[in-house]
């Protein structure tokens, strides 16, 4: 009896459709050192095991060693518009802002661009940042890329930048003489 049950389970396993798992992989990042808040990073990535529906991507950076991770970033969409990282995006945000693609034969390969948002509260100044891709379909819960890349950031946070105040204007020396000769003098030395 036990052998029959095992045989039936084996037959059922082969008859059931195989489930597919999607994989999102970052293949290359360029440049890997950022010296200006305006530097644009190009990420080459591939995805497989995808459903045929439109997929949405955003790039996220987090300071290395930070737990829990605090993400930030700005991603460029296909309309050449830049949008800020959203931790829990609304469904309407996907088609309005996010980089999107439709898989062909359950796969995708392409490039996406991003940069740092140095005004974000989660930007903690210079150091190593971990770059990830997040993929969405119709839910605000994204699937992270299988791998990450480290990007070296050499940009100070706006709050830590030293601002030198302009020199104070010279104080005038005023001379006022009242008498035979009326003299009013102002000296700015």
Between CA 60 and CA 127 the distance in angstroms is 15
Output 101 or 163, whichever has higher pLDDT.
101
> Does the pLDDT at position 6 exceed 70?
no
Between CA 83 and CA 74 the distance in angstroms is 5
> Does the pLDDT at position 181 exceed 80?
no
Tell me what pLDDT residue 158 has.
73
pTM metric for this prediction: 0.71
> Does the pLDDT at position 13 exceed 60?
no
Tell me what pLDDT residue 184 has.
54
Q: What is the pLDDT of residues 36-78, one digit of tens each?
A: 999 999 999 999 999 888 999 999 999 999 999 999 999 999 9
Residues 6+ apart with CB under 8 A from 74: 82, 83, 84, 85, 114, 115, 116, 117
> Does the pLDDT at position 10 exceed 60?
no
Look-up of token digits 């898989």:
103
Q: What is the pLDDT of residues 102-154, one digit of tens each?
A: 999 999 999 999 999 999 999 999 999 999 999 998 776 788 999 999 999 99
Cβ proximity of 136 and 94 under 8 Å: yes
> Does the pLDDT at position 16 exceed 50?
no
> Does the pLDDT at position 31 exceed 50?
yes
Tell me what pLDDT residue 142 has.
81
């Amino acid at each position: 009896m036990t052998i029959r049950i095992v045989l039936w389970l084996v037959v059922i396993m082969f008859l059931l459709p195989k489930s597919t798992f999607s994989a999102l992989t970052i293949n290359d990042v360029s440049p890997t050192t950022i010296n200006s808040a305006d530097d644009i990073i190009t990420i080459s990535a591939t995805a497989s095991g995808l459903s045929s529906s439109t997929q949405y991507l955003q790039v996220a950076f987090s300071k290395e060693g930070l737990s829990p991770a605090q993400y930030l970033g700005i991603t460029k969409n296909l309309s050449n518009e830049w949008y800020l990282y959203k931790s829990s995006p609304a469904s309407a945000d996907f088609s309005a802002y996010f980089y999107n693609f439709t898989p062909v034969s359950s796969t995708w390969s392409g490039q996406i661009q991003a940069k740092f948002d140095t005004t974000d509260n989660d930007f903690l100044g210079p150091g190593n940042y971990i770059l990830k891709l997040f993929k969405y379909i119709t839910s605000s819960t994204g699937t992270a890329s299988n791998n990450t890349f480290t990007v070296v950031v050499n940009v100070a946070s706006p709050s830590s930048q030293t601002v030198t105040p302009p020199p104070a204007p010279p104080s005038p020396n005023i001379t006022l003489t009242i008498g035979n000769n009326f003299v009013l003098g102002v000296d700015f030395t």
